[in-house]
Amino acid sequence: MGSHRRRLAHSGFDRGACAALSALSVAAAALGAVPAGSAVAAPQGDARAEVDRLYEEAEKATEAYNKADERADALHRQVSDSQDLIARQQERVNTMRDALGSLAGAQYRSGGIDPAVALLFSADPDDYLDKASVLDRITAHQAGQLHELQGALRELAQERAEATRQLAELERSRAAVARHKKTVEHKLAKARQLLNSLPATERAAYERISRTGRTDLPELGGAGPASERAAAAVAAARAALGRPYVWGANGPSGFDCSGLMQWAYARAGVHLPRTSQEQRFAGHQVPLSQARPGDLVVYRSDASHVGMYVGNGRVIHAPYPGAPVRYDPVGMMPISSVTRV
């Protein structure tokens, strides 16, 4: 996925698309409701607080964008499935129509006259009645099948029209998220400019503070990974150390926070959801005091950041633009939950 986004085909798909649209619309609306100027509301000179706010706001926008992108991919697959289904049913209808057309032609050629008159002139009335009875049964059966297929096609056509409308709504929601993300990127660039204008000692101080863990955390045990898949995920995450933070990327050349977790666990044969909010519920939650390597540590009350616990009071994570995948103290920011996959 990374920074390369696929364009969606604006065609129909089944009504399975409906379920996630409202959540995405709410997410986009919530992001759109944040005034652009609020990201730089910090007093001048308080560069560190300003950058922290910008990073947090950008991460929320990125996770919402990731969610929209994941749903768009799912909807795109549903479009293809529905189009295949419609094509197959249309082919069946065409076959039935051909058969019914041939039957109607045969009826006409036999003389589209009143059955009583046909019976009067028939050389073998019993044979005529037998054939007429069979013909009626065939016609009724074929007509019933056609009626059933036409009803199914009408329903599919309605679903396709509704789904097309919903796809347009999804695109609008996704565009709103993308616009907000672009705004935050612009603010981040300004904040980066501000940091770069500060003396080297102040820039170094910001980096030190951003990597300082809390000292009031419970004592963490020294147990190893809880499973083979957790051990494999830790190994994969360690292999990504030093790779850059990239918006919306899930590897292998760059990552955002949830993208790194998804990629690392995929190397272990486990599919994780795309966003940190969903990854929070991708297993069962354990107390921080029982954290083991491979557990996902989710941060902030809105679960907008995630890292992987690796032992010794540290996590591996993709921090923010300009900072590569690295180790940091597990208590680097408020912890929301710990999830064992």
Residue 309 has which token pair?
């616990």
Instruction: Calculate ∠ Cα 332-338-341, nearest 5°.
Output: 130
What is the Cα–Cα distance from 44 to 26, expressed in whole angstroms? 33
Partners of 340 in beta bridges: 284
3-state secondary structure the chain: CCCCCCCCCCCCCCHHHHHHHHHHHHHHHHHHCCCHHHHHCCCCCCHHHHHHHHHHHHHHHHHHHHHHHHHHHHHHHHHHHHHHHHHHHHHHHHHHHHHHHHHHHHHHHCCCCCHHHHHHHCCCHHHHHHHHHHHHHHHHHHHHHHHHHHHHHHHHHHHHHHHHHHHHHHHHHHHHHHHHHHHHHHHHHHHHHHHHHCCHHHHHHHHHHHCCCCCCCCCCCCCCCCCHHHHHHHHHHHHCCCCCECCCCECCCCECHHHHHHHHHHHCCCCCCCCHHHHCCCCEEECHHHCCCCCEEEECCCCCEEEEEEECCEEEECCCCCCCCEEEECCCCCEEEEEEC
Q: Which residues are catalytic?
A: 257, 305, 317
